Amino acid sequence: MPELPEVETTLRGIAPHVVGRKIREIIVRERRLRWPVPAEVEELAGQRIESARRRGKYLLLRTARGTLLLHLGMSGSLRVIDPASPWRKHDHLAFQMESGRQLRFHDPRRFGCALFLPQDDDSHPLLRDLGPEPLGDDFSADYLFEKSRGKSIAVKHFIMDSKVVVGVGNIYACESLFIAGIRPTKAARKVTRESFSKLVTAIRKVLSASIEMGGTTLRDFLREDGEPGYFKQSLRVYDRKDQPCLRCKTAVKRIVSGQRSTFFCPNCQK
DNA sequence: AAAACTACCTGAGTGC
DNA sequence: TGCACTCAGGTAGTTT
């Protein structure tokens, strides 16, 4: 599923094919995404895409007339393909570029969205309250420490809150907490500055490593689904219930926290 | 205000 | 083989 690294990979993959290029036609086959695709999206036909950027898991393609905001939800993907490619089930949108290439949006579960923003700034409600980028300078141990004071919420849930920091999904939250040696259920307010320091390092490490893997699949993902199958191999605790902890051999535990599967080593994570 | 919970959706997997 | 069921996931929106 598209986590932050995969969205970043998608951005890097599509950018050369869309930035500086004109959209000839926009085809909407299924308007019922998370929110109905507004008519303004189709009105971007004829516009040139001036830039492409990512904010959290949102992709923003700017034109002189307004900005296209895309989110891949849980099952979405964007591919640059030959326009003659047959429409697959769940291919909902297509952006036919004047270059001849076509950008196609595929999303079985339709948790993704395609919206129109009048301006390319972060004032839109979906972007306005987002926390810092985990790989940016504003994300630090001090920031997390201050932000978490007085919060009884589980630290795992805390770092998965996009108002706290963007792009940390269930899998990366589990992995980062394992590396940092922090129990996922620990109240955020009880996590020390030192532990947050380890956590920040861990989050950066996990995301960066994953982006690099995404980089490896960059060439393939234009053709295939872009699902990096080998990412699973590098997971340390996620989906490893009852298997030995890679550090101490204790059986990995699976619990449900905040209605999400949570994996941790009861010995290494205090 | 903060925390907890719900809804949205489909495909994969499981058990009968 | 097929049916009924559960689960996964991001996040906006609602309820406690």
The sign of the dihedral angle between the CA atoms of A67, A110, A176, A142 is: positive
Distance of CA A195 to the CA centre of its chain: 24
**Shortest CA to C1' contact from A168: nucleotide:** C10
Ordered by start, the domain boundaries in chain A are 4-117, 141-264
Q: Is the CB of A154 under 7 A from strand B?
A: yes
pLDDT at A235: 85
Respond yes or no: is residue A57 known to be catalytic. Answer: yes
- pLDDT averaged per 10 residues in sequence order, chain A, 270 residues: 82 93 96 92 96 93 95 88 91 96 91 91 88 93 94 93 90 92 94 96 91 56 46 81 92 88 93
Q: Is the CB of A110 under 7 A from strand B?
A: yes
Beta-sheet strands, E only, within chain A:
23-28, 51-55, 58-63, 66-71, 77-81, 91-97, 102-106, 113-117, 253-257, 260-264
The sign of the dihedral angle between the CA atoms of A132, A19, A84, A116 is: positive
Catalytic residue among A54, A57, A62, A253: A57
Q: Which of A143, A237, A235 is nearest to A191 (CA)?
A: A143
CA separation for the pair A264, A65 (Å, rounded): 48
User: Domain A4-117: which topology?
Assistant: N-terminal domain of MutM-like DNA repair proteins (3.20.190)
pLDDT at A228: 52
Q: Yes or no: say if A92 and A32 are a contact pair by the CB < 8 Å rule.
A: no
Question: Chain C positions under 7 Å from a protein CB?
Answer: 7-13
pLDDT at A224: 44
pLDDT at A249: 94
Report yes or no on whether pTM surpasses 0.85.
Answer: yes
* CA A109 / C1′ C1 distance in Å: 26
Q: Is the CB of A100 under 7 A from strand B?
A: no
Q: Which of A28, A168, A34, A47 is nearest to A110 (CA)?
A: A34
Respond yes or no: is residue A2 known to be catalytic. Answer: yes
Respond yes or no: is residue A227 known to be catalytic. Answer: no
**Shortest CA to C1' contact from A56: nucleotide:** C10
CATH number for the domain whose boundaries are A141-264: 1.10.8.50
Single-letter amino acid, residue A260 = R
Residue bearing tokens 């307010």 = A189
Q: Which of A211, A150, A204 is nearest to A180 (CA)?
A: A204
* CA A75 / C1′ B10 distance in Å: 9
What b/e readout covers A86-104, taking b as 16+ CB neighbours within 10 angstroms?
A: eeeebbbbbbbbeeebbbb
* CA A116 / C1′ B8 distance in Å: 21
Q: Is the CB of A128 under 7 A from strand B?
A: no
Respond yes or no: is residue A151 known to be catalytic. Answer: no
